[in-house]
Structure 1
């Protein structure tokens, strides 16, 4: 006994000794009433200092796993032995087994089936990967983030470590309300809920708008964000996709679809659309909003990557076009431009709706991490955001132009779309199947995201792909796109 103890780095040794002895007690290797080796003897057995063992023994006694008899030493407490018997570790009963595949419901099964990440590409180290549209962590200004953390903790650290409010951290809500006003949004009659990123906010909104007596009916661009497709399907919505044109959604097709039935919501990404990268033109924004208002279809607007425009004038979000109207629900996040590790997003909408969403949020997760919210707030009020966005926009613009130039040089047969953001979308002639192209490229160490995952129905978009460039070096951008071009020619 005691021969299998192994130290690991970066953890206090006394805690490791305590946990090791604790495991032996729980497993039944040390029985109730059994005397432990003396602290001197145990230090020799485990090859640690005696003071370390003394500290470990004291912690074990505090936790109720051992007791001490003055002048005699430490002994295993009876309750630990009973716990071991209850767990069946003595081998007296067979382990309790359940076939969980027969227990999980259709929702869980559907989530597994739709989980592209779980069933996605497993590329070896050294692969040139165009699959990510996350920000480049080399641009993160860690010094400013550390200062924001220390500043906020110094002001109200003890409060931040306690429970927060379901609606969100009020200083951050106030800041973001002003931020949205600066985008042209009339916030009168509106309120805000802080969420753990876009996805939670979208899921909460869907659960509030899903009809109780029938399947929901949703309209969205086709293609669109695959996570949004998954969430709508999991929430029981039947999705009608509207094709995209060079300047946004096909308005004529949208009008025709709206005349065919009743829809519960429309999900739209008007700026730096994922995956096409298209920015909806001002004329189409006006036409789309007039149509949806006429048919009384609420809009969920995804404010995806609005800060990463590289050319042209700023285009106001859809929620800014309705004035005091309340038909648009805006979901925002800084995840793609700032720090995805801080899971902070927000839902801006009618005050009555936000009141209901707050209760759903409280029932599900109580609140979003208050520390995350407060760090983001302090980072923003310290004036770091504008400085960082300028730096990030300049770097991503350079990579965007490089990627675009490489695509035009090595993939002349593909039609490009993407007016900003962190990716380009490519549409090949019908003879190119991008799933098969991916397999060919993987053999040469290059991967990308086939575009069919962004379409509503199976079999659509099989000749498209998304090319994320944000985390790829200049050299690898050029080399990777050249390889894709060489492989694509064999399909033409």
Structure 2
């Protein structure tokens, strides 16, 4: 019985876990009965050709968990573990799932969009290239912060966030030109949680919200899950169409608005300063607060610094800024933040505490150490140079190889293409057969438009594959009748 046990690595310090789990499994399946004696540690060690200490350690764990008891001088015996299997009971979970769960599943593009397969050239991702991450510096940050904080950083933290990181980010926002007086920061699990918290705090089902059209797909999903009435305003090369915005504001009352002024997702457009000011004043005139998504602001490749709308607001508190480094650095640790009026931050903090207590204190502390050490500044300088080269190369290839009506994008990690009467999903189907995949643009529209658009992310693709992949896309566009 025990001789059949397979120990994958007999010299591993985790071999005792395999022994423990094997014996535990036999007890739970009724293969070992109560009061049955187990082989001695010496016998078991000889049988499995492992050290006696390993077996003794496994038996100690089983005793601690109540699966065995040890009689001094007599050996180790199976405890009387009650395993009572009742008659099968199945629930029809499909009919138990509520409307929120079903809508979440329906809007889950990871499940329902075309999936990447090994060997494909993928232009779906706009995540940073992990090959640029300085792992050694990150390890140093981990060790430094652990040595400073000690064990307490592994205990519960604060809902608002890690104090030193909050202070760093307040200064960071001040350096962007934002007046932080009367404002505070809440640390979140990336943009997604930040946006969800704000909508949970400020909107009710049926409220109307203004945004660009197209816009960030995750934002669309969250707005729909909150049951909001989404009204999109067309976007052009200078950002949102301000005349259309005015018309929509005349016709309807809006609870709040959401905009991505820098490296807009999916178009990559950077709204010029004068249009940001006009947008702010138009919404101010109608008393519609602004949620500003600071998407990819750190990847400004050229030209003068453009102030976020939160900076244009000056001493006012009407702009809620949601920031994240996830699109440029370590998205795996999911650190984001909300900068808002102190009163509002207090409410957001309470909602955060009710939902998940706090964002990982360990992640926040390590991230703070990395940021304040100066390593981030060195990283972002290198990242800007590499992504700028890729952007310029991708733009050149798109112009050379892909017949289109318009190519949009001013930097960042993606470009947006409007085709001439070609359905991007038909194009995707044909490209997949040649091992090229991209994101069809219709998922970014709030009104079922954009069937002739696509987003091409290039951040994690080599120049060689950008050229090859764009060439294949262009070839298939022509095969579908594109000129």
TM-score interval, normalised by the smaller of the two chains: over 0.9
Other-structure match for 1:222: 213
1:448 corresponds, among 426, 433, 438, to: 438
CA distance in 2, matches of 1:207, 1:77: 50
Other-structure match for 2:63: 61
Other-structure match for 1:276: 267
CA distance in 2, matches of 1:203, 1:37: 56
- What SS does the corresponding residue of 2:111 show, helix, strand or coil? coil
1:39 corresponds, among 34, 38, 41, to: 41
- What SS does the corresponding residue of 2:105 show, helix, strand or coil? helix
Does 2:191 align with 1:201? no
Does 2:75 align with 1:73? yes
Deviation at 1:311, TM superposition (A): 1.6
TM-score, structure 2 normalization: 0.97
Q: Is the 8 A contact 2:299 2:412 kept in 1?
A: yes
CA distance in 1, matches of 2:23, 2:438: 49
| Counterparts of residues 61-460 of structure 1 (less than 5 Å) | 61-78=63-80, 81-82=81-82, 84-85=83-84, 88=85, 93-211=86-204, 215-430=206-421, 432-458=422-448, 460=449
- What SS does the corresponding residue of 2:17 show, helix, strand or coil? helix
- What SS does the corresponding residue of 2:231 show, helix, strand or coil? strand
Farther-moved stretch of structure 1 (11-20 vs 223-232): 11-20
Deviation at 1:40, TM superposition (A): 2.7
Structure 1: gaps spanning 5 or more residues: none
Aligned residues between the structures: 479
Deviation at 1:3, TM superposition (A): 5.3
2:452 corresponds, among 463, 477, 490, to: 463
Structure-2 change in CA distance of 1:11 and 1:132 (3 Å): farther
Other-structure match for 1:6: 6
CA distance in 1, matches of 2:142, 2:432: 42
CA distance in 2, matches of 1:152, 1:259: 53
Q: Is the 8 A contact 2:419 2:452 kept in 1?
A: yes
Give a deviation string over 1:151-206, Cα, whole Å, max 9, x none.
Answer: 00000121110100000000000000000000000011111100011100110001
Deviation at 1:96, TM superposition (A): 2.4
Q: Is the 8 A contact 2:187 2:337 kept in 1?
A: yes
Deviation at 1:27, TM superposition (A): 2.3
- What SS does the corresponding residue of 2:388 show, helix, strand or coil? helix
Give a deviation string over 1:339-358, Cα, whole Å, max 9, x none.
Answer: 10121100000111000000
CA distance in 2, matches of 1:39, 1:17: 11
TM-score, structure 1 normalization: 0.95
Structure 2: gaps spanning 5 or more residues: none
CA distance in 1, matches of 2:322, 2:457: 22
CA distance in 2, matches of 1:161, 1:311: 42
Deviation at 1:230, TM superposition (A): 0.2
Deviation at 1:241, TM superposition (A): 0.5
CA distance in 1, matches of 2:196, 2:2: 50
Q: Is the 8 A contact 2:404 2:417 kept in 1?
A: no
CA distance in 2, matches of 1:180, 1:24: 58
Other-structure match for 1:479: 468
CA distance in 1, matches of 2:447, 2:47: 64
Give a deviation string over 1:198-244, Cα, whole Å, max 9, x none.
Answer: 10011000100112xx5121110000000000000001111000001
Farther-moved stretch of structure 1 (8-17 vs 273-282): 8-17
- What SS does the corresponding residue of 1:254 show, helix, strand or coil? helix
Give a deviation string over 1:325-380, Cα, whole Å, max 9, x none.
Answer: 01100000000111101211000001110000000000000000001000110011
2:51 corresponds, among 24, 30, 49, to: 49
Deviation at 1:287, TM superposition (A): 1.0
CA distance in 2, matches of 1:301, 1:268: 5
- What SS does the corresponding residue of 1:402 show, helix, strand or coil? helix
